[in-house]
Amino acid sequence: MTPSEQSAPPADMTLQRSSRDADDLRSRLTDWLTGVLPAGAEPEVIVHDGIQTNGMSSETVLIGISTLVDGERVTREYVARVAPATADLPVFPEYRLTDQYDAMRLAGELAGVPVPPVGLNEPTGEVLGTPFFLMERLDGAVPPDVLPYPFGDNWLFDASPEQQALLQRSSVDVLARLHAIPDASSTFAFLDPAVTGHDGATPLARNLAKTRAWYQYALDAPEGSPRSPLIERGLVWLEANLPADEGEPVLVWGDARIGNMMYREFAPVAVLDWEMATLGPRELDLAWMVFAHQVFQEIATMLGLPGMPEFLAADDVVATYTEISGVEPGDLTWYLVHAAVNWGCVFLRTSARQVHFGEIEVPADPESVFHHRPLFERLLEQVGA
């Protein structure tokens, strides 16, 4: 019997992501492409069925686009990244799809990071009701979120220690390459939280202001959401202990976890999901990669599974990053607490979406939906918050 058969996942780990109708989507995309592609292309759109097992934010729609090329019909496969409709209770307060589009494009051009080639960008929202862009669909394997890869019975868990170490190193290498892009504060100025009205004396202070605003947004769900003492304790501690020296800002991927990368032979071939891209200290990405694994490991442990306790350990990640980049990161403690707060905001919003779609009842205890609750509590105890 596999680990996944021994222990079922928490019921609230899967959720509906969209109320869009596939036929309507196909019709709208076909009409739009007819207007933007060269005359005579005669586009036809196929919306593929499938279950998105990773990600809880932008809608990911797999499509085929068939066009006439020199009299022959050619079909190419794409992924449409679509900002969620307001009625579907988005995870984030805003989705700046063009910023994501530009961040991906520049990361590929300037750092050689493997990102899917981006195609057409529709920033107005007039076609589908919300903005979207197209990117080429690539083939590869993604460490699963559902069931989380530390549960077992998947390609990463079953890999050899050497293969797991290769994946870990190659994933950290992606961060080192992104952070090495020169003059990030100028090249990626459009990602500074100040652009969207978040005040602060430094990039990190502005990112913390953005986190505070995200928490407030999570409380403003239509059904209402009780306040989270854990998140509020975390925010107070973060404000009081803001690092004095955060270094020069770098391009921060934001959602820097292995579940947002596609791999072949245990090396990344696509770096995905750029909703959280920002300017700030490199430690934001490093802590997020470490903490994201800790969340899944925590769930596995609570279910009595061994998980992968030695994988993506903080000391190993920092040592590898230092070796590859030549830059020794600062202490990750502040950034791990910041990650815990952000994960709390994610869980508040995803649970609100589940209530909205009738998948769960309104929880009496808002923190009961925090899959990382014991981990969050231990972190706050460790820092004296």
The CATH homologous superfamily for domain 149-383 is: Aminoglycoside phosphotransferase (APH), C-terminal lobe (3.90.1200.10)
- Asked: is 3-136 a CATH 3.40.50.300 domain? The reply is no
Please state, in angstroms and rounded to a whole number, the distance separating the CA atoms of residues 137 and 46.
14
Q: How far is CA 208 from CA 4, 162, 205, in A?
A: 37, 37, 5
Query: What is the pLDDT, as a whole number, of residue 207?
Result: 98
The DSSP-derived string for 170-198 is HHHHHHHHHHT-TTHHHHTGGGSGGGGT-
The residues, ordered by sequence, that sit 6+ positions from 111 with a Cβ below 8 Å of its Cβ are 177, 178, 180, 181, 251
Query: What is the pLDDT, as a whole number, of residue 118?
Result: 94
29's torsion region: left (phi>0), alpha (psi -120 to 50) or beta? alpha
Domain ranges across the chain: 3-136, 149-383
CA dihedral 354, 358, 360, 366 (to 10 degrees): 50
User: Rounded to a whole number, what is the distance in angstroms from the first to the last CA of the chain?
Assistant: 42
The DSSP-derived string for 101-123 is HHHHHHHHHHH----PPEEEEE-
Query: What is the pLDDT, as a whole number, of residue 294?
Result: 97
Query: Regarding beta strands 72-82 and 59-69, do their DSSP bridges make them parallel or antiparallel, or are they unpaired?
Result: antiparallel
CB 3 within 8 A of CB 153: yes
CB 61 within 8 A of CB 24: no
Tokens 């202990």 found at: 241
Per-residue tokens: 213: 């605003």
Give the residue from 220, 297, 287, 214 showing the smallest Cα distance to 257.
287
Query: What is the pLDDT, as a whole number, of residue 47?
Result: 93
Please state, in angstroms and rounded to a whole number, the distance separating the CA atoms of residues 142 and 171.
12
Query: Which uninterrupted H or E stretch holds 63?
Result: strand 59-69
Please state, in angstroms and rounded to a whole number, the distance separating the CA atoms of residues 166 and 375.
27
Q: How far is CA 25 from CA 20, 29, 46, 138, in A?
A: 7, 6, 10, 22
Query: What is the pLDDT, as a whole number, of residue 57?
Result: 62
Q: Tell me which residues are annotated as active site.
A: 255
Integer Rg of the chain from CA: 21
Query: What is the pLDDT, as a whole number, of residue 18?
Result: 52
190-217 tens-digit pLDDT? 999 999 999 999 999 999 999 999 999 9
pLDDT in tens, the chain (385 residues): 233 333 344 444 444 445 678 899 999 999 999 999 999 999 999 999 743 444 456 788 999 999 999 889 999 999 999 998 888 888 898 889 999 999 999 999 999 999 999 999 999 999 999 999 999 999 999 999 999 999 999 999 999 999 999 999 999 999 999 999 999 999 999 999 999 999 999 999 999 999 999 999 998 877 666 789 999 999 999 999 999 999 999 999 999 999 999 999 999 999 999 999 999 999 999 999 999 999 999 999 999 999 999 999 999 999 999 999 999 999 999 999 999 999 999 999 988 888 878 888 888 888 999 999 999 999 999 999 9
